[in-house]
C-alpha cells in the first residue's frame, strides 16, 4: 500500500479485515471484535477496549502483531494507544471469550451462580494464558453446549493450576444459561463416600438414580478413585448410562489418565474417550495478568514493582501466587501501611527462599524423621506396624501433609504404596495426640525446622 493513500481509520479497518482472515475465528472473535477505532493523530492510532484486563491481554498478545500489520499496510511506524471505555450497548455481543462473555462484574447480581458451587469460580475470573487456553476454551464451549461440544472431557494438571476453578466455572455458567439443567459437582472422594454409604444403608438405587439424573456430571480429582475398584465399577456404569443419553461429563485429574495406577482398563478407556486437555504452570506474563486480576477483584492497590517481584519469585502455580498476595495484604492491613517493595521483600523472603514447598521431598521428611527416632528410612516405608515404627511413620505423614502440596494419595504412594485413607487417619491421630501430649508439637516443630534447613542431599 502506498503511504498516503490510506487514512488511519481505513488502515485500521483493513488491519482488522486481514486479521479476520489470518487468525482463527475463535481468536478473532475473542480479541478483535470489541476493539473500537477512536481517533488518530500523527503516527498514533487510538483504540478503545472494554476493560483494563482486556487491554493488558491485547497489548501482551497482539500489540506487536498489530503494529507490524499497520507497518506493512502504511509503510511507516505507527504507535497504538489503547483506552478503556465501557462498551455502549452495541449490536455486537461481547467477544466470544471466556473472560468477556461473563463479564458480569457491573451487574453481578444478574448472574445466577449454581447454589452448590463457589461463586468465585467463573470464567470471568479465570485468566487465560498460553498455559491454559485450550482447556479454558473447551470448558467454556462445554458450559454453553453441554453433551455436544466435548464429551467426556478430562482436564488434568498439577496442584493449584485451576482445575477446580474451571470445573466449577462450567457448572456456574451452564446454570446461568439454563436454570433447569441438573448439574452435579462432586469430588471423587465424595463420590466414593456416597457410594460406600449407599451400600451400608442399602440405598444403592437412590445413589444410582441421583448420579444418572445429571445433565452435567462434574467429578473433581479422579485420581482418588485409584484402588477403589467397586466405586470404579459403579462409575463405569454411571458413565455408560450418561454417555448413551448424551449427558455431559467432565473430570479432573492430577496427571494424565495413562499415568494413573490402580485403575481398571475399561474405566481408563472411558476417561480417555473424548477430549483430554492439560493445564501447565503459567509463564511470567500470565502470572502478572493473574495477580493483577486478583488485585483488581480485591479492590486494593499494589505497586507494579511489587507485583513483578512476586511473579518473578513465585513460579510454581496460581495457588502459591495467591498465598503470597494474601500474606502481603494481611501484613499491610495489620500494620496499616501501604505495601512497598521493601515491605514485600521483607515479608515474603521466607516465601521466596522456600517458594516451592512441594520441592521439599517426602523422602527428606522421611529420612529426617527416621533419624530423629533412631530408625531407618526403610522402616518408615516398610510394612511393620509395631508402635515404635508406626508412631514415627504417622509423624512423617503428618509433616508431609503440612509441609508439601502433595495429596494424601501421593503421600501414601511414597510411604510404600499405602492408601490415602491411611494417610488421613495418621494425620488425624497426630492432631489428636497433640491435644493431649504437650511435648508433641515442639517435637514436630523441631523436625519441620530441621527438614527446612536440610542441606545435605542423600
Ligand atoms: P487445582 O484444582 O488445579 O488444584 P484450583 O482450581 O483450586 O487448582 O486453583 C487454585 C487457585 O488459583 C484458585 O483460587 C483459583 O481461583 C486460582 N486460579 C488458578 N488458575 C487461575 C487462572 N488462570 N486465573 C485466575 N485464577 C486462577
Ligand atoms: Mg482442585
CATH number at residue 248: 3.40.50.300
Q: Grade residue 100 by pLDDT with cuts at 50, 70 and 90.
A: very low
Determine the pLDDT at residue 77: 87
* pLDDT the model gives residue 25: 67
Taking the CA of residue 129 as reference, the ligand 1 atom at the shortest distance is: 23
Any atom of ligand 1 within 6 Å of the Cβ of 132: yes
Say yes or no: 313 and 379 in one domain.
no
Residue nearest to atom 16 of ligand 1 (CA): 165
Domain's final residue, options 232, 254, 279: 279
Distance CA 60, CA 58 (A): 5
pLDDT of residue 354: 53
Q: Is residue 122 in some structural domain?
A: no
Answer yes or no: is the C-beta of 161 below 6 A from any ligand 1 atom: yes
| pLDDT tens-digit series, residues 150-204 | 899 999 998 999 999 999 999 999 999 999 999 999 999 999 999 999 999 999 9
Per-residue model confidence (pLDDT) at position 454: 64
Is residue 149 within 8 A of residue 141, CB to CB? The reply is yes
140 with 271, same domain: the answer is: yes
Does residue 226 lie in a domain region? Answer: yes
Higher local confidence (pLDDT), 409 or 104 = 409
Question: Would you state the pLDDT for residue 448?
Answer: 87
> What's the grid cell of residue 304?
507494579
Distance CA 140, CA 134 (A): 10
CB atoms within 10 A of CB 10: 13
Please give the helix or strand (H or E) that residue 278 lies within, else none: strand 275-278
In a domain, 30, yes or no: yes
- Work out which ligand 1 atom sits closest to the CA atom of 279: 3
Maximum alpha-carbon separation in the chain:
88
pLDDT of 271 reads 94
**Ligand 1 in contact with 165 (CB < 6 A)?**
yes
Residues 218, 170: contact at Cβ < 8 Å?
A: yes
Residues 326 and 449 in one domain: no
Residue of higher predicted confidence among 172 and 85: 172
Q: Does 140 lie in the same domain as 262?
A: yes
Which atom of ligand 1 is the closest one to the Cα of 120?
16
Please tell me the predicted confidence (pLDDT) of residue 33. Answer: 75
> What pLDDT was estimated at residue 30?
66
Work out the percent of the chain whose per-residue pLDDT is above 70: 88
Q: Residue 149 above 80 pLDDT? A: no
Cell (9 digits) for 12: 485500521
Regarding whether 240 and 141 lie in a shared domain, the answer is: yes
pLDDT of 308 > 60? The answer is: yes
Q: Which domain holds residue 391?
A: 362-453
Which of 8-22, 338-352, 357-371 is the least confident region? 357-371
Instruction: Tell me whether residue 297 is in a domain.
Output: yes
> Does residue 385 carry a pLDDT above 60?
yes
Distance of CA 201 to the CA centre of its chain: 36
Q: Which residues surround ligand 2, an ion (CB under 5 A)?
A: 163-164
Nearest CA to ligand 1 atom 19: 162
Lowest mean pLDDT among 15-24, 43-52, 376-385: 43-52
Residues 78 and 205 in one domain: no
300 and 275 both lie in a single domain: no
Q: Which of 256, 279, 302 is the last residue of a domain?
A: 279
Residue nearest atom 10 of ligand 1, based on CA coordinates: 160
318 C-beta closer than 6 A to ligand 1: yes
- Which CATH number goes with the domain that contains 297? 1.10.8.60
CATH number of the domain that residue 79 is part of: 3.30.300.180
The whole-chain average pLDDT of the chain stands at 86
330 shares a domain with 228 = no
**Are both 261 and 169 inside the same structural domain?**
yes
Output DSSP code: residue 82. Answer: E
- Tell whether the model's pLDDT for residue 40 goes beyond 50: yes
50-68 per-position pLDDT tens digit:
666 567 778 877 888 898 9
Together in a domain, 234 and 304: no
CA–CA distance from 356 to each of 237, 321, 351 (Å)? 40, 11, 8
Residue 328 lies in a domain: yes
Same domain, 151 and 267: yes
**Number of domains composing the chain:** 4
- Least Cα distance to 8 among 85, 58, 79 occurs for 79
Q: Judge residue 192's burial from the number of C-beta atoms within 10 Å of its C-beta, 0-12 exposed, 13-18 middle, 19 or more buried.
A: buried
Examine residue 125 and state whether it is found in any structural domain, yes or no: no
Report the distance separating Cα 54 and Cα 43, nearest Å: 23
State if residue 126 touches ligand 1 by the CB under 6 angstroms criterion: yes
In a domain, 150, yes or no: yes
CA atoms of 249 and 274, how far apart (whole Å): 10
- Distance, CA 265 to ligand 2 centroid (Å)? 24
In terms of domains, do 270 and 140 share one? yes
Centre of ligand 2 from the C-alpha of residue 163, in Å = 5
CATH number for position 436: 1.10.1750.10
Please identify, by atom number, the ligand 1 atom nearest to the C-alpha of residue 126: 24
* Residue 99 in this model has a pLDDT that exceeds 60: no
Find out whether 149 and 138 touch, Cβ atoms under 8 Å: yes
Cα 259 from chain centre: 20
CB 416 within 8 A of CB 382: yes
Cis? peptide before 152, omega within 30° of 0 = yes
> Does residue 120 sit within a domain?
no
Select from 303, 325, 352 the last residue of a domain.
Answer: 352
Residues in the chain: 458
Amino acid at each position: 500500500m502506498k503511504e498516503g493513500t490510506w487514512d488511519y481509520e481505513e488502515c485500521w479497518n483493513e488491519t482488522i479485515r486481514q486479521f479476520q482472515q489470518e487468525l482463527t475465528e475463535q481468536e478473532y472473535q475473542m480479541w478483535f471484535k470489541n476493539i473500537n477505532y477512536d481517533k488518530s493523530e500523527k503516527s498514533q492510532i487510538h483504540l478503545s477496549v472494554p476493560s483494563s484486563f482486556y487491554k493488558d491481554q491485547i497489548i501482551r498478545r497482539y500489540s506487536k502483531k498489530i503494529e507490524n500489520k499497520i507497518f506493512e499496510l502504511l509503510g511507516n511506524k505507527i504507535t497504538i494507544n489503547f483506552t478503556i471505555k465501557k462498551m455502549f450497548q452495541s449490536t455486537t455481543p461481547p467477544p466470544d471469550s471466556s473472560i468477556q462473555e461473563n463479564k458480569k462484574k457491573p451487574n453481578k447480581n444478574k448472574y445466577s451462580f449454581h447454589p452448590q458451587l463457589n461463586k468465585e469460580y467463573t470464567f470471568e475470573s479465570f485468566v487465560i494464558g498460553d498455559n491454559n487456553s485450550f482447556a479454558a476454551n473447551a470448558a467454556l464451549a462445554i458450559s454453553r453446549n453441554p453433551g455436544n461440544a466435548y464429551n467426556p472431557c478430562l482436564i488434568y494438571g498439577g496442584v493449584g493450576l485451576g482445575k477446580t476453578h474451571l470445573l466449577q466455572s462450567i457448572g456456574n455458567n451452564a446454570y446461568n444459561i439454563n436454570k433447569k439443567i441438573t448439574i452435579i459437582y462432586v469430588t471423587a472422594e465424595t463420590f466414593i463416600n456416597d457410594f460406600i454409604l449407599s451400600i451400608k444403608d442399602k440405598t444403592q438405587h437412590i445413589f444410582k438414580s441421583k448420579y444418572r439424573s445429571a445433565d452435567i456430571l462434574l467429578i473433581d480429582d479422579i485420581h482418588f478413585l485409584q484402588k477403589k475398584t467397586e466405586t470404579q465399577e459403579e462409575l463405569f456404569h454411571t458413565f455408560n448410562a450418561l454417555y448413551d443419553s448424551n449427558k455431559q461429563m467432565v473430570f479432573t485429574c492430577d496427571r494424565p489418565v495413562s499415568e494413573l495406577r490402580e485403575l481398571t482398563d475399561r474405566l481408563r478407556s472411558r476417561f480417555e474417550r473424548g477430549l483430554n486437555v492439560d493445564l501447565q504452570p503459567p509463564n511470567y506474563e500470565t502470572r502478572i495478568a493473574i495477580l493483577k486480576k486478583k488485585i483488581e477483584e480485591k479492590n486494593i492497590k499494589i505497586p507494579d514493582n511489587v507485583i513483578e517481584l512476586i511473579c518473578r519469585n513465585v513460579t510454581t502455580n496460581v495457588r502459591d501466587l495467591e498465598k503470597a498476595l494474601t500474606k502481603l495484604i494481611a501484613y499491610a492491613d495489620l500494620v496499616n501501611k501501604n505495601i512497598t517493595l521493601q515491605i514485600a521483600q521483607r515479608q515474603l523472603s521466607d516465601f521466596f527462599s522456600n517458594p516451592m514447598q512441594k520441592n521439599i521431598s517426602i523422602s527428606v521428611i522421611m529420612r529426617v524423621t527416621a533419624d530423629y527416632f533412631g530408625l531407618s528410612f526403610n522402616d518408615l516405608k516398610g510394612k511393620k506396624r509395631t508402635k515404635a515404627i508406626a508412631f514415627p511413620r504417622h509423624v512423617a505423614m503428618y509433616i508431609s501433609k503440612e509441609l508439601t502440596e502433595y495429596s494424601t494419595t501421593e503421600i501414601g504412594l511414597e510411604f510404600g504404596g499405602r492408601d490415602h485413607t491411611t494417610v488421613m487417619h495418621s494425620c488425624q491421630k497426630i492432631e489428636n495426640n497433640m491435644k493431649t501430649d504437650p511435648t508433641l508439637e515442639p517435637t514436630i516443630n523441631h523436625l519441620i525446622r530441621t527438614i527446612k534447613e536440610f542441606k545435605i542431599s542423600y
